[in-house]
Structure 1
Amino acid sequence: MTTVDHTPGTAAAGRSPLRGWLAVLAVTLGIFTLMTSELLPVGLLTPIGSDLDVSEGTAGLMVTVPGLVAALSAPLVTVATGRVDRRVVLAVLIGTVGAANLASAFATGFTVVLIARFLIGVGVGGFWSLAGGIALRLVPERHVPHATAVIFGGVETASVLGVPTGTFIGDLSGWRTAFAVVGLLGLTALVLMVCLMPRVPAARTVTFADLPEVLRGNAGLRTGIAVTFLVVTGHFTAYTFVRPVLREDGVDGGMVGVMLLAFGIAGICGNFVAGALIARRLRATVAGLSLVLTAAMSVLALTGTGAVTTGALMVLWGLGYGAVPVTLQSWILDAAPRATEAASSLYVSAFNLSIALGALLGGAAVESAGAAGVLWIGALLAFLTLPLVLRRPCRPGVAAGRAGEEPKASGTPSGLDRS
């Protein structure tokens, strides 16, 4: 790996902490917009499909396409832009996403929407993989952990609140309005980044050779990627088609947005609960969220008693999924503390590939087995994480920060040994 010699935090030295935090908030708004853009169709599949004359299964491609593209673009953009000012790269990516959402809002056919979704996938993968380490360059070193948490909070908040809010707007004013609002939000983030972010020269260049190297010999990282794949694929197999799931359970169309909003509020609570637990109980937290997701989706597949029971199960589901991003990101960073950029790139790829595969699998299942089928598949995949999580704790092997760097000997178990 080629390296430009910068000490973490040096780039932020001498700058106003307030200006640095404003830049962090601009990046957070950007990543919130990106993730909301990727998942926005989840709550709007039925009206979009009806308006553009495609089935709900076909409409699910609006989630599959950006997920697949993001999985590829995360490492590609990281490598291709290795020497480019990070402010420029992030601004171009968020601007592209804002314009793509506006194009979707005015699209007259499904093909135009899919092209726009392709561009959104490029933005999501590239932005997320670079934004994870940007706090080092924006705020003083003592503020880096909190700033990083705020930036990743944009991912979590989008996952649990962006979709419900977009669905609510879509139910009130139409799905095109929801896309237009997110598009304007992306352009707002672009303006704020240009105005508030300093120049951020590349501190380190990642090569393609670093990506397999960071996985080789690091059982903890491989386990984290596998758990991410199963949990996120299972969740999105069912959640992509949550609207037909809720309608089949007797929920009125006008209440779907309210249900998803309850899901989102529960998800925020799950995020905070997980944040309090992972410092000492990382492995147990991952096992717990897997059990909660399994239980929520299984019982939801069995019941058909109406809005109250369904709403309670949606809250339980939201609690479980709200814990996923912060918990799995912590697992990845614990597993590869000296290769965070390369490991994060792999994690972003796995996360987004799982979103795409979940939507694709759910589309096939909903066409052949109905709404209950996607819930059973989601529950099964979540349950399959337990043998991985509960087996003997594994310690990282090669988690080098540079290609060919030998791991330092340590008598202290990795964070993955936490119960």
Structure 2
Amino acid sequence: MPWAALGLLAAMGFILIAGETMPAGLLTVIAGDLGTSEGIVGQFISVWALGTVIVTIPAISLTRGMRRKPLLLGAITGLLLTNGVTALSDDVVLSLVSRFFAGAFTGVIWGMLAAYGRRISPDARGGLALSIVSVGAPAGLALGTPLGAWVGSIVDWRWSFAGLSLAALVVLGLVALIVPDAPGQPPADRLPLRGVLGLPGVSIVLAVIVAWMLAHTTVYTYVAPYLRDSGAGVAPELLLLVYGLASVLGIVVTAIVIDRHPRALLHVSIGVFIVAGGVLLVAHALAPAVLVATVLWGTAFGGAAAQLQSVLTIAGGANSDVANSFLPVAFNLAIFAGGVLGAAVIGSLDGLVLPVVMIVLGCVALLLVVAGRRTAFAAR
């Protein structure tokens, strides 16, 4: 097993998630510095997601014949530079544009990480390789987002973004030195995009991703307004830290169970997620209840990426690169929609309504999993 190389791919996932979600913990600080509203700063996450949605599928489709390492290095470089612009910008429009292009480079990276990790690993241990690479995402939520929020609240929010660019620079150098190259997909194995979408199970997995991620991100992006309106007295950075740590537990549980009982694991994960939303709704004024709900939320959703990516990779077969390129698009389409939906909710109602969205969309995701049990979600 190429442990160091897989660890670096996981580190890249850490940076991607931290970079995308970090504004969630800095809404008030950034809004005050740039002289705008929290809703506008919430679009820092939405436009990143929009860049990913627009670019990922055509970029991965056009580059699937390229060798993987040069493509990865180029995308990391682009992310590093665009994030640096965000750190230096005093203009809201320029910041939003830089976030859009950062999301575009992120989409290229997300679209290739899973298949890259499997290609450089022994065939018999592809699932383990995928689990290792997937650790970066919950770790980014556990440490990257709350750490960025803490730095931004203590020093300046710009240092949070500058630190992220520095981390990307370090990973870029180590990837160049350590990660082995991998070939692109042979022309004979390439299905057109419509053919990949038509593979059994691919479409239903993508629908589950959109519903579940939309349920999650609507609350996660606007957790600060929710906590402000809840009266529980829980700081956003504390909740984000608790969520992130619990999400690491979720990925560990997923790694242990996923090969034996993937469908049951997905049912339980979404069910616990819905329960967490219920607690956030009915016990919002009680700090212990909010933190317990956050632990349930993080544990349930922490393994979501690995669970759904595993199913999507298997469904994609030889075209797993293209199948996986749909995953960040589905995730980020939901993130974009969540940013817009959450802004509408807190603008017209208040933050306490957000858990209702979490519950309803969680139920939709669970129904989709049940509906797709014969084509996408195998019992074992």
TM-score (norm: length of structure 1): 0.84
Pick aligned residue for 2:80 from 98, 101, 105: 98
Query: Within 5 A, what are the aligned runs for 1:17-416?
Result: 20-141=2-123, 144-204=126-186, 210-216=192-198, 218=200, 220-252=201-233, 255-391=235-371, 393-395=373-375, 416=377
Q: Give the Cα separation in 1 of the matches to 2:128 and 2:367.
A: 33
SS at 2:36 equivalent = coil
Q: Give the Cα separation in 2 of the matches to 1:137 and 1:300.
A: 41
* Gaps in structure 2 of 5+ consecutive residues: none
8 A Cα contact 2:189 2:318, kept in partner: no
Deviations 1:344-374 (A, max 9, x none): 1112211111111111111111111110222
Correspondence for 1:407 = none
Q: Which of the two has higher C-alpha Rg? A: 1
Q: Give the Cα separation in 2 of the matches to 1:336 and 1:163.
A: 31
Deviations 1:101-128 (A, max 9, x none): 2222221121121121012111111001
User: Cα RMSD between the aligned structures?
Assistant: 2.3
Q: CA deviation at 1:336?
A: 3.2
With 26-35 and 49-58 compared, the bigger mean Cα shift is at 26-35
Q: CA deviation at 1:208?
A: 9.3
Q: Which has the higher helix share?
A: 2
Residues 174 and 302 of structure 1: is their aligned pair in 2 closer, same or farther, counting only changes over 3 Å?
Answer: farther
Q: How many residues align?
A: 380
8 A Cα contact 1:160 1:322, kept in partner: no
* Gaps in structure 1 of 5+ consecutive residues: 1-16, 397-415
Deviations 1:302-361 (A, max 9, x none): 333342222222112111211211111122234333432221111221111111111111
Correspondence for 1:411 = none
Residues 225 and 376 of structure 1: is their aligned pair in 2 closer, same or farther, counting only changes over 3 Å?
Answer: same
Residues 206 and 342 of structure 1: is their aligned pair in 2 closer, same or farther, counting only changes over 3 Å?
Answer: farther
Q: CA deviation at 1:45?
A: 1.2
Deviations 1:196-227 (A, max 9, x none): 23444424359996222122251x22221111
8 A Cα contact 2:142 2:243, kept in partner: yes
Q: CA deviation at 1:43?
A: 1.2
Q: CA deviation at 1:148?
A: 3.0
Q: Which amino acid aligns with 1:417?
A: A
Deviations 1:73-111 (A, max 9, x none): 221211232343322211121122122222222211211
Q: Give the Cα separation in 2 of the matches to 1:106 and 1:163.
A: 19
TM-score (norm: length of structure 2): 0.92
Q: Give the Cα separation in 2 of the matches to 1:265 and 1:245.
A: 20
Q: CA deviation at 1:139?
A: 4.2
SS at 1:393 equivalent = coil
Residues 366 and 207 of structure 1: is their aligned pair in 2 closer, same or farther, counting only changes over 3 Å?
Answer: farther
Q: Which amino acid aligns with 1:349?
A: V
Q: Which amino acid aligns with 2:257?
A: L
